[in-house]
Amino acid sequence: MPVKVARKGRLTMILGPMFAGKSTELIRRGLAAREMGEEILVLKPEIDDRYHRERVVSHSGEWLPAIPVSIWPEIPKEISNVLLDEVQFFDKPWFRSNLSAMVTGLLNDGVHVTTSGLHADWRGKQFPVVRTLRTLANEIVFLTARCSLCAKPAHHTAKLGGTLEQVQIGGADLYEPRCAEHWHVSDISTATMNKHPERDSPVYVP
């Protein structure tokens, strides 16, 4: 009978819709660990090059140096904290390793892992890799944004243009945070990809 290995590391997941401050929180935690003298390593999916290829950058402009990857790299022995941004993309076809197995190995070795990413796509469907990692998590931090139409807490991401594919890299040009009242999957169609009817509604400006 195999011996069960006691995990020494902790997995923290930072989840939420777009514009909820997920990367900002990841950066904050990474900087805090570094200030305490811990060795950190930040990984990001190679597909995400919106702001900078070798940095994790928040929408507010804060950043940490990061390594873009499409396959799991060798983790140096001195690293005690691994941080993963946009974790929903650490899966096929953008990522060719088994993230769950890699994270489990780190936790068993005493390495702390922190991830940030979307809890669901613009259709409300959870990403498989996120669903799997949630079963390993010691802590899940769920952040909300402000609905772009009414400023109430937003748990969803609405897509305003582009294609009907599950994944299309973009920012405020393609996506907005929405509350449950203003997020309607039934509104998503080829017609609404060109013009979303709610874009003519008054937008709350804080």
Q: Which residues are catalytic?
A: 86
d(CA 123, CA 19): 16
Is the confidence at residue 197, as pLDDT, over 70? no
Q: What is the mean pLDDT of residues 110-134?
A: 95
Q: For residue 30, what is the enclosing H or E element?
A: helix 22-35
Q: Confidence band (pLDDT; 50, 70, 90) for 206?
A: very low
d(CA 135, CA 137): 6
Q: Confidence band (pLDDT; 50, 70, 90) for 78?
A: very high
Of 130, 111, 153, nearest to 14 (Cα)?
130
Residue labelled with tokens 């003298």:
37
Positive or negative, the CA dihedral 80, 85, 87, 93 is negative
DSSP state of 44: E
d(CA 206, CA 147): 11
Is the confidence at residue 76, as pLDDT, over 80? yes
For residue 93, whether the previous peptide bond is cis, meaning omega lies within 30 degrees of 0, is yes
Torsion of CA 90, 21, 118, 56, to 10 degrees: -20
CATH topology of domain 11-144: Rossmann fold (3.40.50)
| pTM, rounded to two decimals | 0.83
DSSP state of 1: -
Encoded tokens for 49: 């090059």
Residue ranges of domains in the chain? 11-144, 153-200
Contact 115, 13 (CB under 8 A): yes
Contact 73, 45 (CB under 8 A): no
C-alpha Rg value of the chain to the nearest Å:
18
pLDDT for 184 equals 78
Q: Confidence band (pLDDT; 50, 70, 90) for 54?
A: confident
